[in-house]
């Protein structure tokens, strides 16, 4: 959360410097006030099981319906749901059988929410080829996913024979694989203390201190 707050503050500062005072009220407000207002809209839930995930999604559905019935008329930004990761309790659920009833309940709850949803999931590749994705989630998951991107770290060939320095941070690679109309080339980016930096705008080698990496 501290890292998220730092990235958020850096992005607010960047946008205020880019637009100046003519872009609206937020451009003239103190950064701390804008950051507090943004974080006040953030809700974080720790779910210890797939059943707790289902219960949390049902609570979010009820809260979303209550906010829609609010008569204040104030415009609100569309809510976004982030689940990291969706398969966090996959193996414990698998011990109970092959049908994964709790995960299927979670899939149904996500569909009923009708929110923009970002979900992370650990990869399972065919062989050693990165990006050759093999699905392991139960039935119903593929029908729920409209877009899929594969993420991985990319180490230069110079470090294939010898390990890189301890403080070396390799670039991330991202590739869209679903739907086919969005599939394209692999793009690189760096995750720095100020947010995401495209690979074309970043140095070929990035070295962070341990404080930056935490």
Per-residue pLDDT reduced to its tens digit, 112-122: 888 889 998 88
The confidence score (pLDDT) of residue 56 equals 92
Given this model, what pLDDT does residue 156 score?
A: 66
Q: What share of the chain is helix, strand, coil (3-state, %, to 5)?
A: 40, 15, 40
Written as six digits, the tokens of 99 are 């049908």
Distances (CA, A) of 150 to 13, 72, 134, 140, 160: 30, 41, 11, 20, 21
Tokens at 13, concatenated = 């500062």
Tokens of 159: 């470090």
Residue 47: CB atoms within 10 Å: 16
Whether pLDDT at 11 is above 60:
yes
Q: Which run of H or of E encompasses 52?
A: helix 50-68
For the chain, percent of residues with pLDDT exceeding 90: 5
pTM of this structure = 0.71
Give CA angle at 84 (40, 60), nearest 5°.
50
Q: What are phi and psi of 81, to 5 degrees?
A: -110, 130
- Residue 180's pLDDT is 81
The larger pLDDT score, comparing residue 11 to residue 83, is at: 83
Over residues 141-167, mean pLDDT = 76
Residue predicted with more confidence, 78 or 126: 78
Q: What is the mean pLDDT of the chain?
A: 75
Q: E-strand spans in 139-211?
A: 148-153, 168-169, 172-178, 187-192, 195-198, 206-207
pLDDT in tens, 63-122: 777 766 555 556 666 788 999 888 888 888 888 776 888 888 899 999 888 888 999 888
| Joined tokens for residue 206 | 């990035």
Q: Is the peptide bond before 85 cis (omega within 30 degrees of 0)?
A: yes
Terminal Cα distance for the chain, rounded: 11
Max Cα distance, the chain (Å): 64
Q: What is the pLDDT of residue 60?
A: 87
Among 46-55, 80-89, 164-173, which is the least confidently predicted range?
A: 164-173
The pLDDT > 70 percentage for the chain reads: 71
Answer whether residue 194 shows pLDDT above 60: yes
The residues, ordered by sequence, that sit 6+ positions from 27 with a Cβ below 8 Å of its Cβ are 15, 16, 19, 20, 21
Q: Are 194 and 206 in contact (CB under 8 A)?
A: no
pLDDT band per the 50, 70, 90 thresholds, residue 212: very low
Strands 116-119 and 80-83: parallel
Closest alpha carbon to 82 in 36, 113, 48 = 113
Residue with tokens 């950064």: 31
């Amino acid at each position: 959360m501290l890292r998220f707050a730092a990235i958020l503050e850096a992005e607010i500062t960047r946008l205020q410097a880019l637009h100046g005072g003519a872009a609206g009220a937020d451009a003239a407000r103190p950064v701390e006030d804008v950051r507090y207002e943004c974080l006040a809209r953030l809700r974080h839930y720790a779910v210890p099981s797939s059943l707790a995930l289902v219960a949390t999604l049902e609570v979010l559905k009820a809260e979303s319906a209550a906010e829609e019935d609010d008569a204040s008329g104030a415009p609100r930004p569309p809510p976004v749901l982030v689940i990291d990761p969706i398969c966090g309790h996959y193996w414990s659920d698998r011990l109970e059988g092959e049908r994964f009833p709790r995960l299927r309940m979670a899939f149904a709850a996500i569909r009923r929410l009708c929110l923009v949803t970002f979900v992370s999931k650990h990869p399972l590749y065919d062989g050693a080829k990165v990006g050759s994705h093999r699905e392991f989630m139960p039935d119903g998951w593929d029908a729920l996913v409209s877009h899929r991107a594969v993420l991985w770290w990319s180490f230069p060939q110079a470090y294939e024979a010898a390990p890189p320095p301890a403080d070396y941070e390799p670039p991330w690679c991202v590739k869209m694989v679903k739907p086919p109309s969005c599939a394209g080339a692999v793009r690189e980016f760096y995750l720095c203390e100020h947010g995401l930096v495209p690979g074309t705008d970043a140095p070929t080698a990035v070295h962070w201190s341990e404080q930056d990496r935490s």
